[in-house]
Homo-oligomer: A and B are copies of this chain.
């Protein structure tokens, strides 16, 4: 995703991560074993730091405006095997081992619905 100038950047080992004007970066979460895309969430620098430190996925909840340790209440934590960064360094891909359903609906993945066919008008 290419956008306007990032406000701040973080240097990883050879990788500089770019946060947007709100200090956030998109994080795609993929099951490392099944390869299903489970969910898409947001991280700020603190969520990324906590994820790296603990090995468990942390996000930034935009609706609640607070750090969100995924699974802290449900028990469905996500062990993070690897974090990848895209070409523009403004999107992350987390490869995880989920302890349970990723979705608050109880579905294994948040992407449990499909447009019936490509000609459906949303």
Contact = CB atoms under 8 A, between A and B. Distances in A.
A2 B63 contact: yes
Nearest to A101: B5
A63 B6 CA distance: 13
Number of copies of this kind of chain in the complex: 2
Contacts of A15: 113, 115, 122
Interface residues of A, number: 65
B86 A8 contact: no
Interface in A84-122: 84-88, 91, 93, 103-105, 107-116, 118-122
Contacts of A5: 107-108, 112
A40 interface: yes
